[in-house]
Structures are given as structure tokens and as C-alpha cells.
Amino acid sequence: MTTFGHLLPTLAVLLPLLGALLGAASYGVLKGQALKNWADGFAMLTTTGGVLAAAACSWLIFVGLLDGTVQPSQTVWLEWLQVGGWQVDFGVLIDRLSATMLIVVTTVSACVHVYSVGYMAEDPSRRRFFIYLSLFTFAMLMLVTAPNLLQMFLGWEGVGVCSYLLINFWYHKPSANAAAIKAFVVNRVADAAMLVGLFLLLATFGSLTYAEFLPRVAELATEHQLTLNLIALLLFIGAMGKSAQFGLHTWLPDAMEGPTPVSALIHAATMVTAGVFLLCRLSPLYEATPEILHLVGWVGALTALFAATVGLTQTDIKRVIAYSTCSQLGYMFFAIGVSAYPAAMFHLTTHAFFKALLFLGAGSVIHAAHHEQDIFKLGGLRKPLMVTYVLMWLGSLALAGIPPFAGFFSKDGILESAFMAPDGIGWGLYAVGTLGAFLTAIYGFRILFYSFEGQPHHAHHHDEAHTINHQPSTTNHSPHESPWIMLAPMLPLAVGAVVSGYLLKGMLELDWWQGAIAINNWTESGLHHIHHTPVVAKFAPLILAILGITLAWYLFAQHRAVAKKIAQEFSIPYAISFNKWYIDELYELLWQRPLRALANELYRQGDGRLIDGVLHRLTAEVLSTGLSLRQLQSGNLYHYALAMLLAVVAAFAYVLWGVN
Amino acid sequence: MLNITLAHVLTLSSLLLSLGVAGMVLNRRNIIAILMCLELVLLAVSLNLVGTAYFRADLGGQIFSFFILTVAAAELAIGLAIVTLFFRNRGTIEIDAADLMKG
């Protein structure tokens, strides 16, 4: 165990890569249509097996860290760069922060891999899908275990690329293409800021290794406050892009164009939480820049509220969950804003379980309803999809923050630490967050009730399909429960959604993190005092959540006409919410149109007038010179003869008289 | 009896050359005539060589004139072949018809 124990972190990070490489090798070795099924099976086996093994390693590390048999460590694989006195290594850093991320990433990834075996069973390109998934897992693991920011950035961009590839997995769909490009471009904007932040950090500290620069933040704080603020701000912008915070969130809902398991893994549980992880990892830096921390808190709170209001009216089941993700990420940032990094990480962990569960449940619904995602066209699925229904209930209860489900512990931790933050700076955040919790309960149960309650729509729907496609009537088109291979991986997530909050609530204590997270004035921080939260503040979010669920039950399960009437009555707020606060339209007006006009103008002036102008002028000159020169070619033999003669005479004259 | 000197020979040769060149340049109708003028030019050169060789008592020039005669014969054979083909294709041997090179 001792020698093997040292290898565990390396194995956990590299096994998914190995699985992906083996799967990719099958393209070269097992060629041909006849072997396609075998090759697909082989790739699914290696990728899923690799991730499952990585998950096992991660849990061994995590449990070992908890009971003390594994010590926090930093393993160097190889020296990557050495420039002057600056050195960057490839390696793996294990402490409680990265171990927490390890179990979150590998567990959700393993569940998603197994789930995808069922979900993607009929897709001809499923091998590519699994390879991308495993590659993503590797990049994400590298992101969370990197001992320095440069390797972290490699993983950061790696998950971005894999996200692009997976959103665009069904590349024949123009909407998927557009969504993938949008995700990539929005993330470029954020990453550009992040890269500048990294440069600035390197210039200020001379190192990008956490262990080297983080302890020195405090000593530089007084002298270089402005630089530190700038670094913190730029890195936060990078985190905002990846974690879809307000302003740079526009790509996340569109990213739902990808297959549902992708949404569960990348756009709910892991990649989008990278920003939260990064800020927690850099907690000493953010502790030294209270102004930026304040901004982080308000951006998070704004996102939490904004996304919750938008989630209320969307009709696509996946988009609602995507906005929910956006909103929950907002909670995590707002926890960071009040220095409650442990609460943010705790919510990240519980959220990964219940949100992945919700997405996989939604995938099960979509699978059962033959790729119908509009909640108004779903309905009455409770009886045929009993297992999915129960699992979705668990996930939704956890999302709404009902005890004893996981979301209750983490969300309350966040709200209470905001309420108890010193000098009442968090009261505004608390109010916004509590309102958000109310809305969360409503939209969370709205999709549940619309999908599962009410009258089934499918009968009519599939009659149409029959007549259009002339399918044989023996085919069974009624909604059916998903196969066990899809339901089984949802069970561990459901267990996580139920018990992870209670089991891991020790995460709310700073000591639990064993120095991986630093908080100045811990004894005065809000998180330290959450046990003294006034009863009213403690129970307000819970009561509002229960009210929200009841309201959702009344409006969306019992009296849908009332819901429609409310929508008509308040048409302006409804339109704002339905059109996502017109952010896309605003960006169209602010960025796309001016940029397109500028590009058009550059095309016309630069390409059209300058480059084409020079070329056209050049060719025109050559042409006219040629035209005048061709007059010399008369075609008459005697002209040539005369020219030859004259030339000979001239040559003789030169020889005779010209030489000397 | 007129005493023939090198000057006479060279003058005759120059006259023949000029005649040949003038015939080539001024002739606008007949390719055969051009070929004949070409022969005239070559003849002028040969005469030049033979005359010079005689007066300088150097056989080299006379030998060279044989080469010129041989080459002239070969050239004429090819030239006439071309003219024959040209006639077959165009039905005429007028020089003005050979103007494909006109720009």
C-alpha cells in the first residue's frame, strides 16, 4: 500500500487519458465496418474502465486523507520549462481541496460514462463520444490537481476544447455548431483576461507555483495592492467565463445542444465549477483583495437571481436545468464573496451530485419521450417512468434545499455565512440569495410537474409519427422506462444527493481543509458564526423553498390555467424572463453589429480597395503593356527578316567600331 | 584583259548579298522566291570565302564553302518540304497567308 499509495494520484489523473488513447487507437487497429461494433465496445470498455479505476483511486485518496493514512503531497512527474530562474513542473498536487475535486470529477464522470453506454447506444459515433468524454475527464483532473497555474491553464483550455467538441458532437446540426462556437468565443474573451492575469502574476511574483507565490501574497499586499487587485480581477473574469457568471453566461444555455450526458458532466458538475475551484485555490490572494472579493460576491448574487428568474419561464427542460446551474454557481461565487470558501466548495460538491442526477434524469425523460425536450409537450410520464420520477424528486428536493437532502446543508451554509458576515456587509447578498432560493424551488419543481404530471401528450404525438413515417404498427411507441444501464449510474448520484450534505458537512469548518484554503480573521468571519444565526434568518430560506414547492404544485400540477393567466397578466416581466433579460439581443447590439460593420468595412476598404486595388492595377498595367507590345508582332515574314538583318548589321557595327 | 582583284570579288559578293536581302525583305508574295533569295545570300558568302581563299592562298576558305553548299542543300530540302506542307494546308504559298504569329 505504501508504494502503491504514492502512485494513486498519478494513476487517478492519467488513467482516463490512457483509456481515451486506447479507445482512439482502435481507429487505427480495428478498422472496417465489420469490426465497428467490436471497436466501439473496446473503446467504451477502455474509457469507462479507465474512469472507473480513476474514481476508485480518487476515493482511496479522499478516504485516506480523511483518516490520515494518506498525507497531502506534491508529486513532480517531469520538468516542463526552465527559463532563467523560473521553472515549471508537470506534477500532481494532493490536498483536501484537490482530493474533493477529484472525487467529484471522477465519480460524476464514471456515472456519466456508464449512463452513456445506454444513452448513446444507437449513435453511430458513440466511440468518438466516449473518447472525448475521457479526454475531458483527464483535462479536468489535470486542472484540479495541477501544482502550478500554468499546468492548471493547460487543463483549463483542455476542458474548453473538449467542451467545444462535445457540444458540437452532433456536428450536422447547425444549431450545435453555433452553440459550440459561441461557447468557445465567450470563453476566449474570459481566457484572454485570465492569461493577462497570469502574466501579471508571473511578473509580480516570479512564479506560478501555488506553493511558491501564495505564501508571499501577504508580504506584497501593502506595497503592490493595485497590482494584486488587478490580478485578482483578471483571474476572476477568467473564472466568470468558465463558470458562466452574469455577463459571460450566454454560452451555457446554448451548450445544451450537446448530448445530455455531456450537459450532466461538463455543464453542470465539473467544468463550470472550475472557476469556483480556482478562486478557492487562490484564497490567500483573494483574501488580500477585499474590494475584488466584494465584486465577486455581488456578481455571484446577481447571477443567482438572474438565472433563477430566467429559469422560471423557459420551456426546454435542459435549458431550465442549465439556468439552474448558472444560478447555483452564482451561489458559490457569492459564498466566496463573503470569504466562505469552504461553503462554496461544499456547495460545489453537493451540487455536482444533485445537478448531475437532475441532468441524467432529464436525459432519461428525453430518451423515453423520443427526444422531446419541451416541457409543455411532455407530461403524464409519472407512471411509465416511476424510477426516473423518484430520482428526479430526490434531485429537485436537494436543489430546493429541503432537509435532509444535500442542498439544504450547503445552501444554508452559504446564506447563513452571508448573513453573519462581519459588519452586515452580506445582508444584501443574503436577501438576494434567499429570494433566489424561493425561485429555485419554483422552477425546479415546475419542470418536474410539467414533465411527469398532467395528461400524457405522447399518444397524439406518436400517432402523427406513425402516419408520417409509415412505421410498422408493431413498434411500441409509448414512453418506456430507461434501461438499467442508464438507471444504475443514477443511483450513486442519488445517494450523493441525499446523504453527501450530511456526511460532508464538516467541510464548512476551515480546519477540515488543513490549510488548503486560507481565510484572514477566520474567527470573525460569517462562516465561523453560522451556528449563531438568528432563527428567522436560518429558517427563512427553508420556509420560502417549501412555499415555492407548494406554489409550483398548485400552479404547474393542479391549476395550469392559473399559471397561464399569470403569464398573460404580467406580460412584461414574463417577456423579460422568457427572453433571458434580452442579454443576447443586447450583445447583438453592443458587439456583434458594430464588429460585423467594422469587419464589413475592413473587407471593403482593406481587402477590396487596398489589396484587390493594387493587384487589379498591376494586372491592368501588364495587360496594356502587353497589348501595345504585341503590335510589334506583325506576322509578316519580311518584317522579321528585316529585323534580323538590322540586328546583324547592328551587331557587326558594334564589333567593328564599338569595341574600342 | 581585265585584271581581277580581291576588290572585284568582294564587290560582287556584296552585290549578291544585297540582292538576296532586298529580295527577301521586299518580296511580298512568294515563299519560293524567298528561298531563292536565301540561296543567293548563301552564294554570296560562299563566293566571298572562295575569293578570299584564292587571293590569300589559303585552302581553308574553299573547304568551308563546301560546308556551306551542303548546309544550303539540306536547308533547301527542308524549306521546300515546309512550303509543300504549307501549300497543302492553306492552298496558297503567299507570304501574307503565313501570319499566325500576328499579335
| Number of domain units in chain B | 1
Range of the domain at B52: 8-97
Tell me if A432 sits within 8 A of A304, measured CB to CB. yes
Residue B46 lies in a domain: yes
Record the pTM. Answer: 0.81
Residue B1 lies in a domain: no
The answer to whether residue B102 sits within a structural domain is no
What pLDDT does A626 receive? 92
Please give the ipTM for the structure prediction: 0.78
Residue B49 counted as domain residue: yes
Q: Of A179, A134, A125, nearest to A159 (Cα)? A: A134
**Which residues does chain A have with pLDDT short of 70?**
1-3, 457-477, 659-660
Q: At A102, which amino acid appears?
A: L
Query: Counting Cβ atoms within 10 Å, is residue A233 exposed (0-12), middle (13-18) or buried (19+)?
Result: middle
Residue A64's closest CA among A6, A108, A24? A6
pLDDT at A1: 45
B83 within some domain: yes
What angle separates helix A341-368 from helix A96-119, to the nearest 10 degrees? 0
Looking at chain B, which residue has its C-alpha nearest residue A631?
Answer: B103
What's the pLDDT at A473? Answer: 39
CA distance A623 to chain B (A): 13
B87 lies in some domain: yes
Contact yes or no for B96 and A636 at CB 8 A? yes
> pLDDT under 70 in chain B at which residues?
1, 103
Residue B3, domain member (yes or no) = no
Separation of CA A511 from chain center:
30
> Which is nearest to A311 in space by CA: A334, A298, A327, A297?
A327
Phi, psi of A75, deg, nearest 5:
-105, 130
Which pLDDT value is given to residue A53? 95
Mean pLDDT over the full length of chain B = 88
Whole-angstrom distance between the N-terminal and C-terminal Cα of chain B?
57
CB contact under 8 A, B99 and A638: no
Can you give the pLDDT at residue A449? 92
pLDDT, tens digit, 9 for 90 and up, residues A247-292: 999 999 999 999 999 999 999 999 999 999 999 999 999 999 999 9
Q: Do B103 and A637 touch (CB under 8 A)?
A: no
Q: Which residues of B touch A632 (CB under 8 A)?
A: 103
pLDDT tens digits, one per residue of B9-22: 999 999 999 999 88
Q: What is the pLDDT of residue A379?
A: 82
Contacts of A638 in chain B (CB under 8 A): 24-28, 95
* Distance in angstroms (rounded) separating the CA atoms of residues A188 and A277: 19
- Hey, is the C-beta of B83 within 8 angstroms of any chain A C-beta? no
Residues 12-31 of chain B whose Cβ lies under 8 A from any Cβ of chain A: 21, 24-28, 31
- Is B70 inside any structural domain? yes
**What CATH number does residue B91 fall under?**
1.10.287.3510
- Three-state secondary structure along A383-410? CCCHHHHHHHHHHHHHHHCCCCCHHHHH
| Contacts with A630 from chain B: Cβ below 8 Å | 103
Query: Considering just the CA atoms, what is the radius of gyration of chain A in Å?
Result: 31
**Looking at the DSSP assignment, which residues form a beta bridge with residue A76?**
A91
pLDDT score recorded for residue A458: 53
Burial B56-84 (b: 16+ CB within 10 A, else e): eeeeebeebbeeeeeebeeeeeebeeebe
Residues 6+ positions from A94 with CB-CB distance below 8 Å: A9, A61, A65, A70, A72, A73, A74, A75, A145
Q: How many CA atoms lie within 13 A of A557 on its CB side?
A: 18
Cβ-based contacts of A636 with chain B (< 8 Å): 95-96, 99, 102
